[in-house]
Amino acid sequence: MWTIRMCSFFPSLFLHILAPFMAGISQACATRSRRKLQKPLKELMYLWATLQIEEGVKKQKAMALENLISTGIIQRDETPMEKEVVSRCRGCFSLADVMYFSKKGCEAVAEDEVTRRFSSEELLSWNLLSRTNANLHHVSWKLAAVWVTGILIRYCLLLPFRICLSVFSILLLVLATTVVGQFPNGRVKGWLSNQVQMICATLGVRCLSGLVHFHNRENKPQKGGICVANHTSPLDVLILASDGCYSLVGQVHGGLMGLIQKSCMRTSQHVLFERSEMKDRHLVRKKLREHIADKAKLPILIFPEGTCINNTSVMMFKKGSFEVGGTIHPVAIKYDPRFGDAFWNSTKHSIMTYGFNVLTSWAIVCNVWYLPPMVKEEEEDAVHFADRVKAVIAARAGMSVLPWDGGLKRKKIKESFKEEQQKKYCQIVIENGSVGSGNVC
């Protein structure tokens, strides 16, 4: 029965995904066709693969029982510093306190909740891609055969078609923005610019066999506002731009990204900075205020995390975007990792390598929620306002909230974090009267 269903799956894949592009069927028809395919895709691919994995893993565990050796991973102790130190020698200074900090350091190394957010999330079930849980294709020869078949389909059938469509989309963007850029500033140029960007963005999503579900469109960002979203990959911009037009805020790039930026700048007003200017908060804040002051301009799209996070959590929002005033329009983006890994690990992969990985995935499937607009309350500072917006986005997308700065991806931890722990320990010792009284345990 499985053989019959799998044999009927691949013709359905062709008819429902490739045929609409080749025959020129409308976007709405293609979307409905992919939605019809989504259910059997889940049933055939992931359910079957999960069963194969579970069976193979059970066999592997049975074979490894005889040679099982303890891994020695530290069990994390969540006891706060106050209870741990005070309970030992009633809070007085003790050389044994060194062991507490050493233990906490080992726990952080064994299970770091920050750096693991900068690598692809681990899946409960393998998605037949070689970039996540790659070892699982060895558990069953049947699963390995389907994996090899999938490689042939993705690399020999889907990849050439996607590359051609991608090149066409970029050329169309460059040529169309060059032509529209010759028009005088006015309503006609603005309308043409918006149409060009949305068409090219939609084509870009189709290059990835993208299936995007937009929710609560009545809350879409309005002109003169600031759109704030969690950040997983450069595809975030592409996906949001396929449903609306935005002015982008970000760093000037070179290469392919730079070509696309320059093309967009010919027709729209974006706020781009050089690397040295990004450190000037006053300059950034000034340009943002000037932009949102003009209610005729497009809403600004900002990713306050400042870096890509792996689709499992939302990290600290930088407060600069929340200091300029105006209305904040939160947007939550959540990708379905079963169809493809959308996360961009910029420290490991270049933009070209990342693009190749995405183009050879099954598809990019995600949900986008437009959340009700938010404004800063009276006597609320920018930090608390940013945390409130972050919590709303994380709750809607089903992600965890982390207080850490995404800049830790490339930088060392700030000295202020170390000093905070040192001051906390000193305060505990002082309050218990061990300093200056000669009490040493």
Question: What pLDDT was estimated at residue 348?
Answer: 82
Question: What pLDDT was estimated at residue 370?
Answer: 96
Regarding pTM above 0.85, the answer is: no
| Local mean pLDDT, 10-residue blocks, the chain (441 residues) | 40 41 43 50 57 56 41 53 60 65 67 70 73 60 82 92 92 89 85 90 91 93 90 92 86 72 76 64 78 84 88 88 87 91 85 89 93 90 92 93 76 70 75 52 52
Question: Are 144 and 53 within 8 A, CB to CB?
Answer: no
Supply 431's token pair.
């309050």
Question: What pLDDT was estimated at residue 93?
Answer: 61
Residue type, 140: S
Domain ranges of the chain: 1-63, 141-403
